[in-house]
Amino acid sequence: MPELRKDPIVDRWVIIATERWKRPSDFQVSRELPGRGSLCPFCPGNEALTPQEVLAYRPEAGRANGPGWTLRVVPNKFPALQIEGVLNREGVGMFDKMNGVGAHEVIIESPDHKMTLSAMSEKVFENTFWAYRDRILDLKKDGRFRYILIFKNHGVEAGASLEHTHSQLIALPIIPSQVLDELNGSREHFAEKERCIYCDILKQEISDGARVVCENGDFACIAPFAPRFPFEVWVLPKAHASNFEETQKSHFESLARIFSEVLRRLDRALNTPPYNFILHTAPLRDKADEYHHWHFEIMPKLTEVAGFERGSGFYINPTPPEEAAKFLREVDL
């Protein structure tokens, strides 16, 4: 079973795959994704190649694990964590670990193998966000989990291993370190000022305008003041909201609209770059509704992995966010 282990110095949890572990010879890097010739487990008709679905949207009624879906969620066939078992916490001398209990799911956003998310209709985005919400609400019932990470790797350089468009969900019994840093930072700000730090940032950004990429009535997309990566952008709800899964029904449409626009702007400006996006929402059990503000972070993968940055947490960004935002604003759609 995989293990969750904590670094005792910086309190950072990592997943260690203790079973099917990679030997040195397994690290041959392939720069190509399995092509259209090979059988795609995410295509309609190949449902039997994935584990049994946990969610699917079928506009016309149809049987589970058959075709006819517009969106489908299945457990990852090679999960980083294992869904069965009780959470077992253990000390090993001065170290802490627990068994790797968690959910690892794949959200297949569309039956269409050849499409990228940015080329799809806003309806596909809306479906995708509904699926994120439905899965969070379902997994939230499981008392073992404290956090749900939802993310997308697009393009092999950004870590995608299958061509057919999909996002991923990992439900964890711990809170990832960067999310924890955010929670701590925003809690401190609230303790001092009785205000959400993201609301303060949004107010300043929208009035200043230089780092705004686009906005609509409910959402804004900004390039953050101190971005780690060139053309990193965030999408945030304008009204304070800590939990993504509590998003109002009417907001899914405007979220789909802005998200689709942002991806198309990135595609145009950067020639369809590989990218990652990740949802930062509040933890499942820790009450953070006053001070945390959910948002998506979208990070194009433009530079080779920033060598020493892996070992220092210190980033050198060659593109000022004001220039990135201006470029993205002015691109022809």
Q: Name the residues annotated as catalytic.
A: 166
Q: Any contact of residue 229 with its own copies (CB under 8 A)?
A: yes
User: Which one, 46 or 184, has the nearer CB to its own copies?
Assistant: 184
Cα-to-chain-centroid distance, residue 249: 20
Q: Any contact of residue 320 with its own copies (CB under 8 A)?
A: yes
Q: Any contact of residue 247 with its own copies (CB under 8 A)?
A: no
Binding residue for its own copies, selected from 60, 63, 249, 308, defined by CB under 8 A = 308
Smallest separation, CB 188 to its own copies (Å):
9
- 184's enclosing H/E stretch is helix 177-193
- Give the interface size with its own copies as a residue count (CB under 8 A): 94
C-alpha 111/C-alpha 44 separation (Å) is 6
Which positions ≥6 away from 74 have C-beta within 8 Å?
50, 51, 52, 53, 54, 105, 106, 108
- Within 114-133, which residues bind its own copies (CB under 8 A)? none
C-alpha 83/C-alpha 255 separation (Å) is 31
Which DSSP string corresponds to 237-306? ESS--S-GGG--HHHHHHHHHHHHHHHHHHHHHHTS--EEEEEE---SSS--TTT---EEEEEE--SS--
Smallest separation, CB 82 to its own copies (Å):
13
Binding residue for its own copies, selected from 10, 48, 61, 86, defined by CB under 8 A = 10
C-alpha 82/C-alpha 54 separation (Å) is 15
- Within 22-61, which residues bind its own copies (CB under 8 A)? 22-24, 26-27, 29
Which DSSP string corresponds to 128-152? HHHHHHHHHHHHTT-TT--EEEEEE
- Within 130-189, which residues bind its own copies (CB under 8 A)? 149, 151-153, 156-160, 168, 172, 176-179, 181-182, 185-186, 189
- Within 93-112, which residues bind its own copies (CB under 8 A)? 93-95
Q: Any contact of residue 297 with its own copies (CB under 8 A)?
A: yes
- Within 190-209, which residues bind its own copies (CB under 8 A)? 197-198, 200-201, 204, 208
Q: In the structure encoding, which two tokens stand for residue 22, read together? A: 């990679």
- 192's enclosing H/E stretch is helix 177-193
User: Which one, 54 or 201, has the nearer CB to its own copies?
Assistant: 201
Smallest separation, CB 9 to its own copies (Å):
4
Binding residue for its own copies, selected from 63, 271, 330, 332, defined by CB under 8 A = 271
User: Which one, 249 or 310, has the nearer CB to its own copies?
Assistant: 310
Smallest separation, CB 68 to its own copies (Å):
30
* Distance spanning both ends of the chain, measured CA to CA: 48
Smallest separation, CB 315 to its own copies (Å):
4
E strands, 93-239, in order: 95-99, 103-108, 147-154, 166-172, 212-215, 219-222, 233-237
Smallest separation, CB 321 to its own copies (Å):
7
Q: Any contact of residue 289 with its own copies (CB under 8 A)?
A: no
